[in-house]
Structure 1
Amino acid sequence: MTKSSAAIGAKSVAAEVAEVMRAVGVPDASWRNGTRATRSPITGEVIAHVAEASGDDVAGAVARSVAAFEAWRTVPAPRRGELVRLIGEELRAHKAELGHLVTLEAGKIVSEGLGEVQEMIDICDFAVGLSRQLYGLTIASERPGHRMMESWHPVGPVGIITAFNFPVAVWSWNAALALVCGNSVLWKPSEKTPLTALAVQALFERAVHAFGGAPEGLSQLLVGGADVGAALVDDSRVPVVSATGSTRMGRIVSERVARRFGRSILELGGNNAAIVCPSADLDLALRGIAFAAMGTAGQRCTSLRRLIVQEGVSDGFVPRLAKAYGSVSIGDPREAGTLIGPLVDAAAYEGMQKALEAARAAGATIHGGERVLADVWPDAYYVRPALVEIDEQVEIVTHETFAPILYVLRSAGLPESIKLQNGVPQGLSSSIFTNDLREAEAFLSAEGSDCGIANVNIGPSGAEIGGAFGGEKETGGGRESGSDAWKAYMRRATNTINFSRQLPLAQGVSFDVEG
């Protein structure tokens, strides 16, 4: 089912953007008078001309960030947490406006735009509690009269590079932790979604005002293209760079940061699978798979890309799924009832079509995948989600295509299913639908899923901020958000204190000198 925008009518996306930018206090000059055009994926219309940073601007921003860090690291951590609490309060007060802007600029449906801002609020709450729990360990020493411990210290300016699909939440995962850990932050947003970044920066500055002032340059925004990102990545004064995006981008970032002995936190591609076992609650599985595969128009790093259905259940289940694919509502994400909005741009559509052509050449049966609503919005790219039945995990299936394509594979049992699940270069998220305890535990064991996230009876997407987020293999190995991910934003020191009057050496070494 496709829906046009008759209900919303005459108001353009650009007009709605202007209302939101005024509401959150973004200066006109930063988004009206610049050189880079920004388009909304909803209609394809130009909604802004943003001002861009240059290489020289990056160098100056890093210098200010270093100075801000040197002051901020001396502020007690609970006090730093108070600033993050105030950021969370600004987000609560402007959740509707910022969530709407996410919809307008990234094309997410209303509930997902609001959900992304809620995720920001949640990580602020988490970080406020963390500000009183930046703990180290006391470690038993082999030497009498000695105490050994570890302590954690702020590391320095943290560079944050984010992608279009979560234009603000991923910044918050990194920035909230970095700030309570005592660091300054430099944010390079996707060139496709600069407006949401400008809005968040305005809210940050409001929080700083309520806080009573913070070091100048504590959080800075660097809008621009690949040259801006490269300048940030190459600057040795930025010890940590957190980058979210494609595996190709991650390889470039990791190599350049490693060349100067910096640290990377990489959250890259996913080619996530779900296994459906004969014991599964099939109604539950259908709902979980539908959201995971079609939500956000398949443009989540945790989107479900591969469905592995075991014999005994596939013949009845796959037709039900195909029916759901044929009936899902596609259209303007601002409209109530829309479940699938647009792809971000023409390149995303072209990538989807190339993948479907490769699958067709491999003998696949394809349901959906065609462009819709082109007569309404010729410059926007709405597609019907594609369900692709394929006999083998051929090469195209092992690649991540950032679009709503779900490859359906059939397997003989759990060992074969897990082998298929793990048989791709990526290792972000995974899930299994089963009511068999042994199957669930096997999937979660060392011999089961090789992903950073492994779920039972839910899909692979929709992670909560309490757990560390990230994956293995070509996903990059980084972790963001909850659990002990905060340690990546700090430096560890091991300390030994001798409170005796003797000087025994470790490992029984003897070294006596006369003085």
Structure 2
Amino acid sequence: MTAVGAQPIERGLLIGDTEIPAASGRITEHLDPVTGEVHSRMAAAGKEDVDRVIAAAHAAFPQWAGTPASQRRLILERAAQLLSERVGEFTELLLGETGGTRAWAAFNVSMSVDLLRQAATMATEPTGKMLATDDPGKWSMAVGAPAGVVAAFVPWNGPLILCTRAVAVALATGNPVVIRPSEDAPITSGYFLADLLIEAGVPAGAVTVVTNERSDAPEVVEALIANPRVRRVNFTGSTTVGRIVGRHAGTYLKPVILELGGKNPIVVLDDADLDHAARGVAFAKFFNSGQICLSVDRIIVLESVADEFTEKFLAAVDRVVQGDPTDPRTLVGPMINARAAERVAGLVQDAVSKGATVLRGSGAPEGAFHPATVVADVTPDMRLYHEESFGPLATIYRVATVDDAIALANDTEYGLSSAVYTENATRGLDVARRLEHGAVHVNDHSVADDPQAPVGGVKDSGFGRFGSQWGADFFTETRWVTVADRHSEYPL
């Protein structure tokens, strides 16, 4: 949290290795969600600033793409080491910018270190292959080359993880990156990592940052995607904004990765270890106040164990520490702002007015704080059945059969992450095969993550995959190159 009376952090647009104000001189302020104090003041870019930032990135492209692969690898490894030493610094920034807890800050750092180290290995991976050819006089090759400037749109909720995921593989494969961080977390979802990468040795311009006033976001987003020097786009955020980014990418013919919202289910079968499942589900729901794209939204339990599971789950919820984000034990701290807490309260109110039952929590939010809440008897006529809660709000459903559980889990426009608790691996794999989600975790929770994994969704949860072993092809252009070892005969 921002200490009362503390001097706000001030940052300009990061262009090359310097910071400059917006051409208009405008700034935008960000408030600490807990104290309401001004936490930071950022340059508020317009279209002309976007063009300058991209020009700097494009100018850095030849140098960065031409940097020896082993050197790029070393720089990313050095960045990982620097990051591992700065847990305390990042934690204080996260507390003041998003109200995220100390546990969430530590997880952001540890996961980002792993992502950087894994991405570093991609710098020295083979960049092409020999192809079969019917012409004995030619060598035929598929060669991967860096694509060019990457526009990376980063959200506030997992700021360092999602910023690292957006830029690390792109940098490893020789591409400069323009980071457009969230208006709600410009430092932790942008500047913090950019500063660290530059300190580690990324040359001037290979990492740049552009920030904007919220009202200018549509203009800035389109300007970033429309610029002909931008060759790749990646976006993590809401499905609503993802559709806009996708439309622009289509209009301007830019390859894009979209990782969007989720209505993530966890299925609890009748042979599950219910104590283990209850703890895992409670963690998957309430870590970072449920503000993780992979957080569980729907808990689907077979009727034969529903009473016992619900009792154990509610007991786990009662043990969840809520409130002060500076307390290392806190799991549910403030939400990103009071508007977010009010939106969650509105979902509960709508559901209750239509017959839902509140098993824990509810009540009016206090500023950005909303209590950990559990609701049952949710039906399709309620907003909560369809909308992503993105907060400390869980729903429990009872079903008669495994087929019913799978049908309910798939009854959503989203398809990001899911899980199934069972002590029978064969049964779990059968359920996993039938769940229409980008990730399925058997006997583990939906927030499970791994730097080597292909992260992304299906349906309205987006398309394309982040991940060091899966994203490298996205950030390269495949070129067909032939070399003739003798003169060809031409019919001329």
- Write the distance in 2 (CA, Å) between the matches of 1:234 and 1:28: 24
- Write the distance in 1 (CA, Å) between the matches of 2:278 and 2:126: 42
* Cross-structure match for 1:149: 141
* Cross-structure match for 1:177: 169
- Write the distance in 1 (CA, Å) between the matches of 2:363 and 2:6: 27
Letter in structure 1 aligned against 2:455: F
Cα drift, residue 37 of structure 1: 1.6
8 Å contact kept, 2:365–2:371:
no
Paired residue for 1:307, among 296, 299, 308?
299
Letter in structure 2 aligned against 1:429: S
Cα drift, residue 373 of structure 1: 8.0
* Cross-structure match for 2:281: 289
- Write the distance in 2 (CA, Å) between the matches of 1:141 and 1:195: 51
* Cross-structure match for 2:377: 390
* Cross-structure match for 2:13: none
* Cross-structure match for 1:473: 459
Aligned positions of 1:115-514 closer than 5 A: 115-196=107-188, 197-208=190-201, 214=203, 216-224=204-212, 225=214, 226=217, 227-370=219-362, 374=366, 380-390=367-377, 392-394=379-381, 396=383, 397-445=385-433, 448-499=434-485, 514=491
* Cross-structure match for 1:104: 96
Letter in structure 2 aligned against 1:355: L
Paired residue for 1:79, among 51, 63, 71?
71
- What secondary structure is seen at the aligned counterpart in 2 of 1:451? coil
Letter in structure 2 aligned against 1:349: A
- Write the distance in 2 (CA, Å) between the matches of 1:333 and 1:67: 42
Cα drift, residue 55 of structure 1: 1.5
- What secondary structure is seen at the aligned counterpart in 2 of 1:335? coil
- What secondary structure is seen at the aligned counterpart in 1 of 2:272? coil
8 Å contact kept, 2:294–2:417:
yes
- Write the distance in 2 (CA, Å) between the matches of 1:182 and 1:120: 19
- Write the distance in 1 (CA, Å) between the matches of 2:410 and 2:141: 39
Letter in structure 2 aligned against 1:493: R
- Write the distance in 2 (CA, Å) between the matches of 1:318 and 1:56: 56
- What secondary structure is seen at the aligned counterpart in 2 of 1:383? coil
- Write the distance in 1 (CA, Å) between the matches of 2:171 and 2:407: 41
- What secondary structure is seen at the aligned counterpart in 2 of 1:442? helix
- Write the distance in 2 (CA, Å) between the matches of 1:14 and 1:84: 37
Cα drift, residue 351 of structure 1: 1.4
8 Å contact kept, 2:418–2:446:
yes
* Cross-structure match for 1:3: none
* Cross-structure match for 1:12: 3
Deviations 1:457-483 (A, max 9, x none): 111003121212111111111211233
8 Å contact kept, 1:331–1:342:
yes
Deviations 1:176-219 (A, max 9, x none): 111111100101100111132333333233222xx7xx2x3111
Cα drift, residue 322 of structure 1: 2.2
Which stretch shows the higher mean deviation, 305-314 or 234-243? Answer: 234-243
Letter in structure 1 aligned against 2:69: A
For the structure 1 residues 34 and 391, does the alpha-carbon distance in structure 2 shift closer, same or farther, using more than 3 Å as the test?
A: closer
Cα drift, residue 12 of structure 1: 1.9
For the structure 1 residues 453 and 108, does the alpha-carbon distance in structure 2 shift closer, same or farther, using more than 3 Å as the test?
A: same
Number of residue equivalences: 478
8 Å contact kept, 1:40–1:107:
yes
- What secondary structure is seen at the aligned counterpart in 1 of 2:66? coil
TM-score by length of 2: 0.90
Cα drift, residue 358 of structure 1: 2.4
- Write the distance in 1 (CA, Å) between the matches of 2:172 and 2:136: 36
- Write the distance in 1 (CA, Å) between the matches of 2:376 and 2:290: 17
Identity, in percent, stands at 29
Cα drift, residue 40 of structure 1: 1.5
Letter in structure 2 aligned against 1:430: S
8 Å contact kept, 1:139–1:148:
yes
Which structure 1 residue ranges, 5 or more long, are not aligned?
Answer: 1-7, 20-25, 375-379, 504-512
Cα drift, residue 100 of structure 1: 2.6
Cα drift, residue 319 of structure 1: 2.3
For the structure 1 residues 435 and 60, does the alpha-carbon distance in structure 2 shift closer, same or farther, using more than 3 Å as the test?
A: same
Letter in structure 2 aligned against 1:180: A
- What secondary structure is seen at the aligned counterpart in 1 of 2:73? helix
Letter in structure 2 aligned against 1:221: V
Cα drift, residue 287 of structure 1: 1.0
- Write the distance in 2 (CA, Å) between the matches of 1:13 and 1:194: 20
- Write the distance in 1 (CA, Å) between the matches of 2:111 and 2:234: 18
For the structure 1 residues 500 and 90, does the alpha-carbon distance in structure 2 shift closer, same or farther, using more than 3 Å as the test?
A: same
Deviations 1:258-302 (A, max 9, x none): 101111111110110000001001111011101101111110000
Cα drift, residue 326 of structure 1: 3.4
Letter in structure 1 aligned against 2:411: G
Cα drift, residue 17 of structure 1: 7.2
Which structure 2 residue ranges, 5 or more long, are not aligned?
Answer: 11-16
- Write the distance in 1 (CA, Å) between the matches of 2:424 and 2:306: 17
- Write the distance in 2 (CA, Å) between the matches of 1:85 and 1:327: 39
- Write the distance in 2 (CA, Å) between the matches of 1:13 and 1:176: 35
- What secondary structure is seen at the aligned counterpart in 1 of 2:304? coil
Deviations 1:121-155 (A, max 9, x none): 11111122111114433333345555443221100
Letter in structure 1 aligned against 2:229: R
- Write the distance in 2 (CA, Å) between the matches of 1:369 and 1:329: 13
- What secondary structure is seen at the aligned counterpart in 2 of 1:220? strand
- Write the distance in 2 (CA, Å) between the matches of 1:122 and 1:455: 20
- Write the distance in 1 (CA, Å) between the matches of 2:455 and 2:338: 29
- Structure 1 residue 40 corresponds to structure 2 residue 32: yes
